Amino acid sequence: MRPRSMMAISVAAMAALCMAVLLPGSTTAVVEKRFITHSGAVISTTGEVLDPLYTASTVEFDPDEYLRNFEYGRVSQEDGQTIREYTIIARDDQVQEISPGVFYNVWTYNGTVPGPTIRATEGDIVRIQFINQGSKQHTMHFHGIHPAEMDGVFEIVGPGGGQFTYEFEAGPVGVHPYHCHVMPLEEHIVHGLYGVFIVDPAGGRPAADEMVMVLNGFDTDFDGENNFYAANTVPFYYQHHPIRIQQDELVRVYAVNMVEFDPINNFHLHGNLYYYYPTGTDTVPSHYTDMVTLSQTERGILEFSYSYPGQYVFHAHKVEFSEKGWVGTFLVDGPS
């Protein structure tokens, strides 16, 4: 080999390496898609849009269905008392798309997170046939007043079909959470074993457009911090699917904070204030405000009506949570 050709080869090889690094891969022509940023800019892309706001309709759990769904149970009468019977099945093997594209092993009561909203009137007998179809021990622990053996703490229900019947008189009036109480407790709660238990006063509350909002979060990478927050599980869902309400109609929100890891959560309403009934146990509101702060399992009833039509945001004013999904909108329809 001549030195000159050797040099030429070295330089050529170096140039080739350089080109290999510099040249972009070939691309094929594809259809442009558009999406809108948080600040309203319209962006075009030839690739895929990654946006929980605009693709949330594809996820498995339907927050719209959950929002206004109340389970009154199989009703019968015994000695003049109303009996409400439920069958609740716990599982821990489901993998659910909790945000578009994000698959997470949820532990569920009756297949959803949150579990069904159990609703009874004060004094009714609530009878729950609980079946544990999971691979771990689970229970149901209700907040409220009941005998010790119905507390779902010491009466561990074994996996693979273990059963227990919870029976107690519904009370006190208000909105309460129920959740699994097997250790490690945090793990059982954050995977999704929780739901809402509403006890109506005898004679009921004034007519209203009623809805349930469980404020929850998911730590999908198990680092002790929530990756997602939401009202009713799916991040940003009600921002993309506004909750339609009527102008001047009373709206009643049963809000329950089930967020773990973060000490507080809160609920801020735009363009309005609400009457707040902590735990829903009193008929007199404690506050007329647009902001309440909720600690773990703290809950209450929010009552309001809108004077003007239009779209109004509601969200955590701990804005980290709202930027990770706990944000939604009410679309107030004016009189037609």
SS3 of 119, please? strand
Confirm or reject binding of residue 325 to another protein (CB under 8 A).
yes
Chosen residue from 12, 14, 75, 145 binding another protein by CB under 8 A: 14
- Write out the two tokens for 204: 């009921």
Confirm or reject binding of residue 306 to another protein (CB under 8 A).
no
Determine which helix (DSSP H) or strand (DSSP E) holds 79, and give its type and residue range.
none
Confirm or reject binding of residue 96 to another protein (CB under 8 A).
no
Chosen residue from 31, 39, 203, 206 binding another protein by CB under 8 A: 39
Confirm or reject binding of residue 79 to another protein (CB under 8 A).
no
Residues in the chain: 336
- Shortest reach from residue 102's CB to another protein, in Å: 5
Walk across the sheet containing 174-179 and list its strands: 118-121, 194-200, 174-179, 141-142
Confirm or reject binding of residue 248 to another protein (CB under 8 A).
no
- Shortest reach from residue 230's CB to another protein, in Å: 11
The nearer residue to another protein, 83 or 264, going by C-beta atoms, is 264
- Shortest reach from residue 94's CB to another protein, in Å: 14
Chosen residue from 106, 316, 324, 328 binding another protein by CB under 8 A: 324
Confirm or reject binding of residue 164 to another protein (CB under 8 A).
no
Confirm or reject binding of residue 58 to another protein (CB under 8 A).
no
159-to-102, 110, 134, 156 alpha-carbon distances in Å = 27, 15, 5, 10
Stretch of residues binding another protein (CB under 8 A), selected from 66-74, 149-157, 217-225, 292-300: 217-225
The gap between the terminal CA atoms of the chain, to the nearest Å, is 91
DSSP for residue 184: S
Q: Which residue matches tokens 């990654």? A: 50
Query: Which residues make Cβ contacts (< 8 Å) with residue 289, sequence separation at least 6?
Result: 273, 274, 276
Cβ atoms of residues 195 and 168 within 8 Å: no
Chosen residue from 12, 31, 52, 294 binding another protein by CB under 8 A: 52
Confirm or reject binding of residue 135 to another protein (CB under 8 A).
no
Chosen residue from 12, 15, 273, 291 binding another protein by CB under 8 A: 15
How many whole angstroms separate alpha carbon 104 and alpha carbon 127?
31
Confirm or reject binding of residue 63 to another protein (CB under 8 A).
no
Confirm or reject binding of residue 76 to another protein (CB under 8 A).
no
∠ CA 100-244-333 to the nearest 5 degrees? 145
The nearer residue to another protein, 57 or 87, going by C-beta atoms, is 57
Confirm or reject binding of residue 311 to another protein (CB under 8 A).
no
Which residues are paired to 256 by β-bridges? 214, 299
315-to-59, 312, 318, 319, 328 alpha-carbon distances in Å = 21, 10, 8, 8, 6
Stretch of residues binding another protein (CB under 8 A), selected from 14-22, 205-213, 253-261, 301-309: 14-22
Which residues are paired to 217 by β-bridges? 229
- Which residues of this protein are in contact with another protein, per CB under 8 A? 1-4, 6-7, 10-11, 14-15, 17-18, 21-22, 27-28, 30, 33, 35-39, 41, 43, 45-54, 98-104, 218, 220-221, 227-228, 235-236, 320, 323-325
